[in-house]
């Protein structure tokens, strides 16, 4: 796994394996999730893979009423919006993910700072198989 390139394809492969992985800059220690081949802070290109524990808290969110077809197929629509959030991981990086177990039709009930734990949503089969990163209140 150490040999995988620091890009979105590797990131998704790791998600398929139920791993949330980021890249850490060997120069300055900055963390990126998803991984980046070049450090966004110091522009060094020496990276290493690090696995996130999958604990974090909700930093921001939006309720999405008109989602991509895949989300509509899962039963999300205008009356049942799904929630996309920015999760601040324990390790310090921020990652965009679906937020499960909250009511997207009642945004006022969703609180910034809610402790969340990672979940890997496996959808589709064979060539269509995809894994979505999600978080759920602890
Ligand atoms: Zn750096």
In this structure, the answer to whether residues 16 and 43 fall within a common structural domain is yes
In this structure, the answer to whether residues 73 and 107 fall within a common structural domain is yes
**Per-residue pLDDT tens over the stretch 10-38:** 999 999 999 999 999 999 999 999 999 99
For residue 138, how far is its CA from the centre of ligand 1 (angstroms)?
Answer: 32
Task: For residue 2, tell me if it sits in a domain.
Answer: no
Task: For residue 40, tell me if it sits in a domain.
Answer: yes
In this structure, the answer to whether residues 111 and 70 fall within a common structural domain is yes
For residue 53, how far is its CA from the centre of ligand 1 (angstroms)?
Answer: 21
In this structure, the answer to whether residues 20 and 76 fall within a common structural domain is no
Show the domain range for 114: 55-137
Give the residue from 28, 81, 100, 91 showing the smallest Cα distance to 55: 91
For residue 90, how far is its CA from the centre of ligand 1 (angstroms)?
Answer: 19
pTM over 0.85: yes
In this structure, the answer to whether residues 123 and 99 fall within a common structural domain is yes
In this structure, the answer to whether residues 87 and 123 fall within a common structural domain is yes
- Full 3-state SS string of 3-58: CCCCCHHHHHHHHHCCCCEEEEECCCCCEECCCCCCCCCCCCCCEEEEECCCEEEE
Given a contact cutoff of 8 angstroms between Cβ atoms, the answer to whether 31 and 22 are in contact is yes
Strand-pairing partners, residue 131, are 122
For residue 55, how far is its CA from the centre of ligand 1 (angstroms)?
Answer: 23
Q: Domain total for the chain?
A: 2
In this structure, the answer to whether residues 68 and 131 fall within a common structural domain is yes
For residue 137, how far is its CA from the centre of ligand 1 (angstroms)?
Answer: 32
**Per-residue pLDDT tens over the stretch 55-109:** 999 999 999 988 788 788 888 888 889 999 999 999 999 999 999 999 999 999 9
Asked if the model's pLDDT at residue 8 lies above 70, the reply is yes
d(CA 23, CA 33): 7
């Amino acid at each position: 796994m150490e040999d995988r390139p620091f890009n979105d394809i590797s990131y998704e492969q790791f998600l398929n394996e139920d791993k949330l992985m980021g890249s850490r800059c060997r120069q300055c220690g900055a963390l990126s999730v998803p991984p980046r081949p070049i450090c966004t802070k110091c522009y060094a290109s020496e990276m290493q893979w690090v696995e996130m524990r999958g604990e974090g808290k909700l930093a921001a969110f939006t309720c999405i009423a008109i989602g991509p077809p895949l989300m509509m197929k899962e039963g999300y629509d205008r009356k049942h919006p799904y929630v996309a959030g920015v999760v601040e991981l324990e390790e310090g990086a921020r990652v965009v993910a679906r937020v499960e177990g909250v009511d997207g039709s009642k945004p006022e009930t969703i609180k910034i700072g809610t402790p969340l734990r990672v979940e890997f949503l496996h959808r589709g089969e064979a060539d269509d198989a995809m894994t979505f990163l999600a978080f759920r209140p602890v």
